[in-house]
C-alpha cells in the first residue's frame, strides 16, 4: 500500500479531521492517531499539517477548542481539546455527500468499481 502524504492530502485534511472528531473530543496528537489508525497505516500525517487545519476549522466555526483543565491528572503542558460543533457536523455530512459523488464520477471515468461496505 502506498503512503498517503503531502499533495495527496491537500483539500481533504479538514474533512478527515472533522470525521475523526465525530468520535468525540480530542487533542492534536489523538486526532493524528485516529486518522493514522483509520488509514490502516498508509496515512502519514505530520502535526505541522494538522494544526493549521484545526485553526481554519475553528475560525470557520466547525470545531470549538478549549484548553484542558489543570486537574486533568496528567503531567506536562496543557493541551488544547477540540470538539465538533453543530455547524461542523453539518459540514461533515455535506463533505461526505460531495466525496461520494466525486468518487462515483471518478470511478465511472476510470472504469474502476466503487467498493461499498
What is the set of domains in the chain, with CATH numbers? 6-110 (1.10.10.10)
32 in Cβ contact with 47 (< 8 Å)? yes
Q: Can you give the pLDDT of all 117 residues of the chain as single tens digits? A: 567 666 666 778 999 999 999 999 999 999 999 999 998 888 888 878 899 999 999 999 999 999 987 655 667 778 899 999 999 999 999 999 998 898 889 899 999 887 765
Please give the model's pTM, rounded to 2 decimal places.
0.83
Place of cell 478527515: 16
18 in Cβ contact with 95 (< 8 Å)? yes
Amino acid at each position: 500500500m502506498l503512503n498517503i502524504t503531502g499533495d495527496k492530502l491537500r483539500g481533504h485534511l479538514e474533512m478527515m479531521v472533522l470525521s475523526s472528531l465525530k468520535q468525540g473530543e480530542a487533542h492534536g496528537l489523538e486526532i493524528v492517531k485516529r486518522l493514522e489508525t483509520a488509514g490502516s497505516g498508509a496515512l502519514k500525517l505530520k502535526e505541522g499539517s494538522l494544526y493549521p487545519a484545526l485553526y481554519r476549522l475553528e475560525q470557520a466555526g466547525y470545531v470549538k477548542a478549549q484548553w484542558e483543565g489543570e486537574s486533568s491528572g496528567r503531567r506536562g503542558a496543557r493541551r488544547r481539546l477540540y470538539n465538533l460543533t453543530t455547524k461542523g457536523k453539518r459540514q461533515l455530512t455535506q463533505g461526505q455527500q460531495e466525496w461520494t459523488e466525486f468518487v462515483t464520477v471518478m470511478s465511472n471515468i476510470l472504469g474502476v468499481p466503487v467498493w461499498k461496505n
